[in-house]
Structure 1
Amino acid sequence: MGKTLFDKIWEKHVVKQIEGGPAVLYIDKHFIHEVTSPQAFKGLEQRGLKVLRPQQVVATADHNVPTLNQHLPIKEELSRNQVQQLIDNCKKHDIELYGLGHPFQGIVHVIGPELGITQPGMTIVCGDSHTSTHGAFGSIAFGIGTSEVEMVMATQCMMQSKPKLMRINVEGQLNKGVVSKDIILYIIATISASGATGYFVEYAGSAIRSLSMEGRMTICNMSIEMGARGGMIAPDDITFDYMKGRLFAPGVSQWDRKVNAWKELYSDEDAVFDKEININAADIEPMITYGTNPGMGIGVTGHIPAENEIEDKEKPSFLKSLNYMGLKPGAEIKGKKVDYVFIGSCTNSRIEDLRLVASFVKGRKKADDVQVWIVPGSRQVEKQAIAEGIDKIFEEAGFQLRQPGCSACLAMNEDKIPAGKYCISTSNRNFEGRQGPNARTLLASPLTAAVAAITGEVADVREFL
């Protein structure tokens, strides 16, 4: 029987299989940031241990950093302390840190790929649930808890049970105005926010293969939002073209040998998955969420489910969610007024996302009563946007281009959506309070967010293309 892409990578990284238990899995690359690392460093020190292989650890500051005036001291005390703790710990343990002011600083899941650190066939972990982003390169990448961060620091290995495997095939051509964010929101709405619990997902099919690397990263990023352990896509020429020449990618002398090895990273024709799901790309329209988990999504021309469309056991949470959101069962979402638009996060803050938004808003102005925050995912993205004149397009449209960081994705910093306000967000989560106490989040693609910024309401971008 053939092997899946996951099997091929997993088997090469098992140091020891514990009979009847988990495997000891070797970790190639460990990303850390300021939120989940302090306790891990403290645990090491209490045990008198050093980081075993600091050269395989990469650190950056992203969650707690302000996105305005980064040259000034951080105002919030907790954020300031966490960032300073990261600086001190990295210095003490000789770990490369891309902190504030460094030309490589940015969101951890943006800088790994753009620097060429993320590579096919790797095992990659980070104390952050959206580590599955890196699976877009054909790697096994997943988030871990703080105790596991400590374990990897100490041993470069961790205990991990092999998950079940799911393949989601998206075949066909995407409709006008539909982008990768719509694909993943459609998948999550179809199978629910718990539909992939216990699985590692491989995305396949002609629609997936047609995506850029930025689009593939968006898909894999939100795997966790349907309960999956992670997501991955087999590497191909699009992957290799993206990586070639990046700072930490293999150099010229190694390139051909590496690519030949990477070309073996695919699921064999006779590989068997525990579950397969098939989706027709033509069925997907621009998507938006209406509730408080990413599975509560509909097409922009659809309506929020009526009460009689919801199973009895789901009704209490459904009604609680709508009450929080200030929405009614059966209502249309199109035309809903919005107050804020946030374009950023590890899901949609790459240069391709900013180019897409700029191409739509060029020559247009934002609605008067909407605040628009554009937050690049890294210093390199910011620099490129300025070099291409994208910053001027945003300025003329009335958008605010801020500095790199996680920003309003999670309100762990100064960028919070006020209570009761509606924000169309290109981030990955719409939980209660995620973007600020009592903030109301509608998840959407950069295109759908852009049209909302111009019109001041939820709108169908296809009417403007």
Structure 2
Amino acid sequence: MIARTLYRKLVDSHKVLELDSQNVLLYADLHLMNEYTSPQAFTGLHEQERTVLMPAQNVAVVSHIIPTHAVRHRIIADPASALQASNLKSNCERHGIPLFDTNDALQGIEHVVAPEHGLIRPGMVVICGDSHTTTYGALGALGFGIGTSEVEHVLATQTLVYRLAQDMRIRVDGSLPLGTTAKDLILMIISRIGAQGARGFVVEFCGSAIDALSIEARFTLCNMAVEAGARGALIAPDAKAIDYVLKRASDIQGAIADQAQTHWATLKSDESARFDCEHQFDATDVAPYVTWGTSPDQAIPIDGVVPFPAVLADGSPDTSTAHALRYTGLSSGASLQGVPVQHVFIGSCTNARIEDLRSVAEIVKDKHVAAGVRAMVVPGSGAVRNQAEAEGIAAVLIDAGFEWRQPGCSMCLAMNDDVLSPGQRCASTTNRNFEGRQGRGAITHLMSPAMAAAAALTGVITDIRYLNQKRGAHE
């Protein structure tokens, strides 16, 4: 038998038809939808007088355009956004598709909601009109984003014409040092291999450092793999992943659970499987990372310095670095430590789970947000929000001066009311720092929740490892 990678096993088990050497017709176990990539798909479906083939294997969530103000009943004031939400609701009602609507108590970000309700299981193929569907690889599921025309095809057939990817393995051994997290690890990896370093690949993460990560930390890792161009990210399901799923998937019990676990045990790359590309990193080398530019790969250790523009092979200067520096207002050779921030945003499908909020609360307890800083915490879902309130986390954050918001994508991409003003600099736990991502002319520095909490307390980008010393210097 030919040795196969985990990725190839998942593709093979979902292949309906081999179209040619590079393309297959792939079956999707679950299709997730949101309010901004599905309207045109439904319109196309209805124009062709088609129905949704498998409504129960589709789930919709309102998340990107929803306001997150701390009010019990939310109203989407923007007419265009309100229309998107109402269209999604009417389309779901028409076709019998489950929907986490605007004021559903469990509404939230799709990539937080789906795993916490046991919808994601090892071995699944999960697709969504959103690039960060790679998140689900943390549970051994192949997740990836698709376009609107593909959404229509999936609604009609529960399948997708899928172009095969190459296999990449990233091994990380060792232990993450105190003060560093999975967010720092993935920022380091992206900075090393580049924003296109995994383009055309599905990445499998492995190694002792990956084994040691919690499931929520693995979500963060797989979520941001797409920022290196990856078409998917996978971690072979282990006891942690299986325990996470079984606690949430109430339909998997008894003999079914036994059968499932027997199958899940096979979801790993064969020892002699060949990867098209491999990288290896040492977790002990990871420091807290912060982005300095306008791409996730433009990141440095907090104790590093902003780079100088490189000289390309033809002798010309790298204009992308110079352009990013002009946009962010930073200088080559400068340190990011001490750079003032006006806003701190803790949220998004990357870092808005309960584990993230616990880490923030631990840092800010009995302290207060610095004068002149607006700090927001937006939980990833209604379930996360409820748990944070039950654990007393919300009270700690509010006492420290943070805004405690309703769940949603919020300031991750500014498709809602949460938008930065031109020139505002934000310490953000999100996944992208593109120009204008959080508002026209706004400047985004990606970092971990712990680093964002430190910036909120000091008013400047701060090395979390020396927070108390830094606070003394700025008080």
TM-score normalised according to structure 1 size: 0.98
> Displacement, 1:103?
2.4
Q: 2:311, 2:317 within 8 Å by CA — same for their partners in 1?
A: no
Structure 2 letter corresponding to 1:145: G
Q: 1:345, 1:375 within 8 Å by CA — same for their partners in 2?
A: yes
Structure 1 letter corresponding to 2:9: K
2:357 pairs with 1:354? yes
> Displacement, 1:18?
1.3
| Alignment correspondent of 2:148 | 146
Q: 2:309, 2:319 within 8 Å by CA — same for their partners in 1?
A: no
| Alignment correspondent of 1:389 | 392
2:452 pairs with 1:449? yes
Residues 251-305 of structure 1: CA deviation (Å, up to 9, x unaligned)? 3442222112111101111111000000011111000000000000000010000
> Displacement, 1:250?
1.6
Residues 140-166 of structure 1: CA deviation (Å, up to 9, x unaligned)? 110000000001000000101110010
| Alignment correspondent of 2:234 | 232
SS in 1 for 2:318: helix
- 1:165-180 equivalences under 5 Å are 165-180=167-182
Distance 2:254 2:409 in 1: 34
| Alignment correspondent of 1:60 | 61
SS in 1 for 2:247: coil
| Alignment correspondent of 1:127 | 129
Distance 1:35 1:314, change over 3 A: farther
> Displacement, 1:329?
1.4
- From 435, 443, 455, give the equivalent of 1:440: 443
Distance 2:311 2:427 in 1: 25
Distance 2:310 2:352 in 1: 38
2:135 pairs with 1:108? no
2:160 pairs with 1:158? yes
| Alignment correspondent of 1:50 | 51
SS in 2 for 1:342: strand
Distance 1:386 1:249 in 2: 28
Distance 1:153 1:27 in 2: 10
| Alignment correspondent of 1:24 | 25
- 1:192-341 equivalences under 5 Å are 192-248=194-250, 250-307=252-309, 315-341=318-344
> Displacement, 1:246?
1.1
Distance 1:349 1:313 in 2: 42
Structure 1 letter corresponding to 2:46: E
Residues 118-146 of structure 1: CA deviation (Å, up to 9, x unaligned)? 01000000000000001111111100000
Q: 1:166, 1:276 within 8 Å by CA — same for their partners in 2?
A: yes
SS in 2 for 1:307: coil
| Alignment correspondent of 2:471 | none
Distance 2:276 2:146 in 1: 23
Residues 15-36 of structure 1: CA deviation (Å, up to 9, x unaligned)? 1101344100011000001010
Bigger drift between 438-447 and 102-111 goes to 102-111
Residues 8-52 of structure 1: CA deviation (Å, up to 9, x unaligned)? 111011111013441000110000010100000000001000010
Distance 2:137 2:410 in 1: 23
Distance 2:420 2:209 in 1: 34
Distance 2:402 2:84 in 1: 30
Distance 1:313 1:138 in 2: 44
Distance 1:270 1:357, change over 3 A: same
Structure 1 letter corresponding to 2:79: E
Provide the aligned C-alpha RMSD in A.
1.3
Distance 2:220 2:322 in 1: 29
Distance 2:422 2:253 in 1: 50
Distance 1:216 1:20 in 2: 32
> Displacement, 1:206?
0.5
> Displacement, 1:446?
0.5
Residues 228-266 of structure 1: CA deviation (Å, up to 9, x unaligned)? 101111000010121223155523442222112111101
Structure 1 letter corresponding to 2:320: S
Q: Which runs of 5+ in 2 are unaligned?
A: 469-475
Distance 1:363 1:314 in 2: 49
Residues 375-410 of structure 1: CA deviation (Å, up to 9, x unaligned)? 000000000000001111001110111000000000
Distance 2:226 2:251 in 1: 27
Q: 1:307, 1:330 within 8 Å by CA — same for their partners in 2?
A: no
Distance 1:188 1:172 in 2: 18
Distance 2:164 2:72 in 1: 42
Residues 43-100 of structure 1: CA deviation (Å, up to 9, x unaligned)? 0001000010000001110000000136142111111111111111101111000112
Distance 2:420 2:283 in 1: 33
Distance 1:110 1:72, change over 3 A: closer
Q: 1:365, 1:398 within 8 Å by CA — same for their partners in 2?
A: yes
SS in 1 for 2:336: coil
Structure 1 letter corresponding to 2:193: I
Tell me the percent identity. 46
> Displacement, 1:315?
1.8
SS in 1 for 2:320: helix
Bigger drift between 251-260 and 446-455 goes to 251-260
Residues 427-450 of structure 1: CA deviation (Å, up to 9, x unaligned)? 000000000111100000001101
Structure 2 letter corresponding to 1:41: F
Distance 1:15 1:254, change over 3 A: same
Q: 1:115, 1:248 within 8 Å by CA — same for their partners in 2?
A: no
| Alignment correspondent of 2:36 | 35
Q: 2:310, 2:317 within 8 Å by CA — same for their partners in 1?
A: no
Distance 1:310 1:443 in 2: 26
Distance 1:248 1:65, change over 3 A: farther
